[in-house]
A and B are shown apart, each in its own frame.
Chain A
Amino acid sequence: MALRDQLRTIVVDDMSTSRGLITQALDGFGVRHVESAADGASALQKISSWPVHLVISDMNMPGMTGLQLLHALRSAPQTRGVGFLLITGKADREIIEHGKQLGMNNFLKKPFQPDDLRRAIEAIVGRL
C-alpha cells in the first residue's frame, strides 16, 4: 500500500496561485487527500475537523506566519506530531533557526520544481 494514497495533507498559503501549484504537484505525485487554507487560522480550524499528517505552509502570510502556525500546531496535543514543511522565499538563518527550535521538519525555498517538493516531503514522511 502506497503512502501517497493515505497521506493527508493541508497546503497553507495566502496566494491561491501557490496553493494551486503545490496542490497540482501533489496531484502529480498521486497524493490526493489534500486540503488547502489561505491563512494559519483557517488551516488550524480545518485540521481540527480533518486531521492531517503533513502541513505544507508558506512562511509569509497575513495574520499568522508559517512559523507561528507551526508553533500553534506543536502546542496542541492533537497536532503536536504532524509533519511540517515550510515553504519560504527567503531561507535566512533566522527563519531556519527559529523553525528548528519549533520543530520544523523541513523547509523548501521558492521557487521550486515539483521534484524538489517531492524530495522535501519524502524526507519527512518517507517514500510517497
Chain B
Amino acid sequence: MSDPMAEIRASFFIECEELLEALQDGLQAMFDGARDDETVNVVFRAVHSIKGGAGAFGLDELVAFAHRFETVLDEVRAHRLAADGDLLKLFFQCGDMLGDLVRDSRDGLDHDPARAAPVLDRLDALMGTQDDTPDAEEVAFQPMAVSLDLPGLDTDTPPPGDAPAPPVWSIRFSPAASLYAAGNEPLFLFRALRDLGEIEITCQDRDLPTLDSLETEQSFLAWEITLTTSEGEAAIREVFEFVDGLCDLEVTEQVGGADITKLHPPGADAAAANVATAPYPAAPAPGPTTPEVTTPEVTAAELTAAEAPKARPPAPSPPRATVRVDLDRIDRLVNLVGEIVINQAMLTQSVEEAGLPPNSAVRTGLEEFLQLTRDIQESVMMIRAQPVKSLFQRMARIVRESSADVGKEVHLRTDGENTEVDKTVIERLADPLTHMIRNAVDHGLENTADRIAAGKPAEGKVTLTAMHRSGRVVIEVADDGGGINRDKVRAIAEMKGLITPDLPLTDSEIDNLLFLPGFSTAEEVSNLSGRGVGMDVVRSSIQALGGRISITSEQGKGTTFSISLPLTLAVLDGMVVRVAGETLVVPLNSILETLALTREEIREFGPETHVVNIRDNFVPLLDLGAELGYRDPLEDYAGGVVLLIAQEDSNPAAVVVDAIEDQRQVVIKGLQDSYGRVPGIAAATILGDGQIALILDPVDLVAQASGRTRPPRPIDAKAG
C-alpha cells in the first residue's frame, strides 16, 4: 500500500474490532456484577477511542453515535447514573449498533439512520435536560511557549507568528567538464549566491590528481557552500539555472551539525526556570529523592508516575509485538510444511526399504527429523489458529437479539473463549453456530410461564463452551430448556413421511431425526430459526469441516448439541485402503468400525443390492470399487473388508474394500482448482511412496451411491 492514509484507515478498522471486543468484554463484566471504575473506564475508553479515530476520517455518523453513547457512559463513569440491568442491556444494543456502524463505514455502506434512532432516543432520554459539558471555546487557555536552545537556531525563539531566523542551506556544487567547455565560470555563480545572503564557500580538491597525471580537459574541483538566506530553495536553484545539466547540484536545508543540547522550560513556569540552563543530559541523571509535587492533590497514580522517570522502574510489560501477515503467505507456508511431511514420509519409506540397522546414523537422524517436522507443523498450524472469542461474542449478540424477538429472558454463558481453532474453521462455523443458538433460544428454551410452572428460574440459560479434547476441538451449545419432546418429534417425522409408523427407535435415534432434511418442529415457522435452514444444513456444514455433530437431551433438563472438529483443515487422520488396485484414503473420523465379511452376514436385498447383518442391524452394502467406477460389482463379497461409515441421521453404511493398508496422517491437497467437484471425493494426498491417493468424502459417497453389489445378469444369458 503506497497511500499512508489508506493504510492508517485500514488499521483503524482493525483497531476498532479490538476496541469493540474490549467493549463487549467490559459490558459483560459489568453485567456480571463488576462495578469498579476501571471496568467502566475500559468501556468508556473503547467508545471514546472509536469516536476519536472516526473523527479523523470524517466518519460523521459514527462520530455522532459514539458521542451520544460516550456521553451516557461518562455519566456512569462519574457515578451520576447507575448501570442497572436495563441500562446495560441498552449499552449492549449500543455496542452492537456501534459495531454495525464501524463495519458499514469500513465497507462504505450506507447506514440506515432509522435503525439507530430508537436506541439513540433512549440514550438521549437518559441524559434528560442536562447541558453538554462546556466546550473548549469557553475555556480560556493561553498556549505557553518553550524556548529551545538548539545549535544553529536563533536562541530566542520568536513568539509564534513572528518571522523565524532565516534558514541555512548547504549547497554542494560539482561542475562537470562540460560546464567549463560551455564557457561557464563558477566564480560568477558564487557572486550571484552571495547576493542572496551570508555565504561561506569551501573548495573540495581531494579528487585533484598530481600535476603529472592532471588532464586539463577534466573537472576535478567541487565546492561546498553554506548560505544563510530567507530567499528559499527556488531562488538558490535559479542561480544555477544556466548550468543545469552541466554539474551535480545538491541544495539541502541544513540540519544542525551537532546534537541537541539545551532545552528551556515553559517561559511561564517561573519555578522551573532555575534549571533551565542545565544541559539536557543524554542519559538521565539520578533525580532528587522526592519529586517536587506542585499540585495540591496528588493521587497515588500521580506519585507513581512522578517517580517513574528517575527511578527507572522495571520495564513496563510491553504490549506483545505483533506482525500482520498476508494470509496467502501463511497458506503458502502451510503448503510447504505439508510438502515436508510428505517428503519425510517418502524418506522414511526409502530408509526402511534400504534395510539399515535401527541404530544407524541415518535412522536416528531421521527420527530427529520426524520430531522436528511435527514441531514445525504444529507451530505453523498455530499461526492460523485464533481464539474462538470473536465468534462467541457474535453469538452473544445473537442471543440478545433473538431472545428479545421471542420475548424470553435468556442469559448466555460462555466458557473456553481462548480455545484456539483454525481461522477458516472459525469463519465457517459462524453460520451453523448462529443457527444452533437461535434454535436453542427459540425451540430449546420454554416460555417464561412454562419455566416458572416447571419450577425453573424465569431466565433461561444457554451455554456455549469450547474445549480441546483428544486432538480435536469440541464446541457445545447447551440450553436448560425442556429437552426434546420425543413424542412430538416422532409424530412430525411420521407425518412428514420421514419414518414409517411403528419403526422402533431409540431415544437417541429420535433425537437424530432433527438432522433429517426438511424437519422443523416449530408449529408455526417463527421468524427466528425458521429461515429455510434446518439442522440438516447445520450438520452438512459441520461435516464439510471434517466435523461431527451429536445431540443429547434430557427431559425437563435441556438439550446439548456437541460439535467435534479437527484442529486444522490441512492435515487429516486417514485410513489408507486398497480397492480394485487403487489406493484411497478414508477419513478416520467417519469410520465407526472395520470388520471382515462372512458369507452368513451378507443378505440379498432387491435385485442388485445386498445388506449386511451387523449384530442384527441391517446395513446397506456398498462396493467402493463399483461406486467409483473402478470395477463391476463382484459375484461374492465374502472375505472382503468392510468399513462401517457413520451416517448420523440413519443407519451406517457398510463400504467394502479389498484391504486396509495403513492408518496415518495425510496432508490434504485440494482438487477443486484443477478438477472442480468430484462426487464422492473430497481431496487428494501424496503418500510416502510418492503415490497420489484420493481422499474419500464418505458422506457424499454414500449419498450418491447406487448400491449395486451384484453383477448385471444379462437377460439372454438367462434365456439361453
List residues of chain A with CB under 8 Å of any chain B CB.
1-3, 5-8, 14-18, 20-21, 24, 38-42, 44-45, 47-49, 51, 53, 60-62, 64, 68-69, 71-83, 89-93, 96-97, 100-107, 109-112, 120, 122-127
Residues from chain B with Cβ under 8 Å of A105 in the complex: 143-146, 266
Residues from chain B with Cβ under 8 Å of A47 in the complex: 309
The distance in angstroms between the C-alpha atoms of A124 and B30, with both chains bound, is 42
Residues from chain A with Cβ under 8 Å of B133 in the complex: 90, 92-93
Chain B: minimal CB distance from A36 (Å):
12
Chain A: minimal CB distance from B34 (Å):
16
Stretch at the interface among B272-280, B405-413, B617-625: B272-280
Interface centre among A71, A106, A126 (most CB of B within 10 A): A126
**A74 — nearest CB in chain B belongs to which residue?**
B294
* Contact present for B301 and A92 (CB under 8 Å): no
The distance in angstroms between the C-alpha atoms of A44 and B420, with both chains bound, is 36
Total A-B Cβ pairs within 8 A: 240
* Contact present for B256 and A80 (CB under 8 Å): no
Interface string of B132-146 (1 = CB under 8 A from A): 011110110101111
Given A60-B45, A75-B293, A124-B146 contact (CB < 8 Å): yes
**A109 — nearest CB in chain B belongs to which residue?**
B136
Which residues, 137 to 167 on B, are CB-close (under 8 Å) to A? 138-139, 141, 143-148, 150-153, 157-160, 162, 164-165, 167
From B11, B144, B260, B294, contact of A106 by CB (8 A): B144
Which residues, 307 to 347 on B, are CB-close (under 8 Å) to A? 307-310, 312-313, 315-316, 318-319
* Contact present for A77 and B145 (CB under 8 Å): no
* Contact present for A126 and B56 (CB under 8 Å): no
**A67 — nearest CB in chain B belongs to which residue?**
B302
Given A47-B309, A97-B139, A3-B150 contact (CB < 8 Å): yes
* Contact present for B269 and A72 (CB under 8 Å): no
* Contact present for A81 and B139 (CB under 8 Å): no
* Contact present for A17 and B15 (CB under 8 Å): yes
* Contact present for A81 and B272 (CB under 8 Å): yes
22 contacts between A and B (CB under 8 A): A1-B153, A1-B255, A6-B260, A15-B52, A15-B53, A20-B4, A21-B56, A68-B305, A76-B287, A76-B306, A78-B280, A82-B263, A83-B266, A91-B136, A105-B145, A105-B266, A110-B52, A112-B56, A123-B145, A123-B160, A125-B145, A127-B158
The distance in angstroms between the C-alpha atoms of A16 and B11, with both chains bound, is 8
Given A72-B306, A76-B309, A20-B11 contact (CB < 8 Å): yes
* Contact present for B253 and A5 (CB under 8 Å): yes
The distance in angstroms between the C-alpha atoms of A82 and B145, with both chains bound, is 10
Chain A: minimal CB distance from B676 (Å):
43
Top 4 closest A-B pairs, CB basis?
A111-B55, A81-B265, A91-B136, A123-B143
The distance in angstroms between the C-alpha atoms of A27 and B152, with both chains bound, is 22
Given A68-B305, A89-B48, A91-B136, A3-B164 contact (CB < 8 Å): yes
* Contact present for A1 and B167 (CB under 8 Å): yes
The distance in angstroms between the C-alpha atoms of A44 and B133, with both chains bound, is 31
* Contact present for A72 and B305 (CB under 8 Å): yes
The distance in angstroms between the C-alpha atoms of A80 and B264, with both chains bound, is 9
Main secondary structure of the interface of B (DSSP, over half): loop
**A52 — nearest CB in chain B belongs to which residue?**
B263
* Contact present for B167 and A48 (CB under 8 Å): no
Interface centre among B15, B56, B164, B309 (most CB of A within 10 A): B309
Chain A: minimal CB distance from B351 (Å):
51
Interface string of B275-308 (1 = CB under 8 A from A): 1101011111101100111110001011001111
B683 within 8 A of A: no
**B16 — nearest CB in chain A belongs to which residue?**
A17
The distance in angstroms between the C-alpha atoms of A47 and B285, with both chains bound, is 13
Residues from chain A with Cβ under 8 Å of B478 in the complex: none
The distance in angstroms between the C-alpha atoms of A16 and B4, with both chains bound, is 13
**A19 — nearest CB in chain B belongs to which residue?**
B8
* Contact present for B308 and A6 (CB under 8 Å): no
* Contact present for A14 and B49 (CB under 8 Å): yes
* Contact present for B306 and A71 (CB under 8 Å): yes
Residues from chain A with Cβ under 8 Å of B145 in the complex: 105, 123-126
Chain B: minimal CB distance from A74 (Å):
7
**A68 — nearest CB in chain B belongs to which residue?**
B305
* Contact present for A78 and B265 (CB under 8 Å): no
Residues from chain A with Cβ under 8 Å of B260 in the complex: 6, 8, 51, 53
The distance in angstroms between the C-alpha atoms of A112 and B287, with both chains bound, is 37
From A18, A61, A71, A100, contact of B56 by CB (8 A): A18
* Contact present for B8 and A72 (CB under 8 Å): no
From A24, A91, A125, contact of B146 by CB (8 A): A125
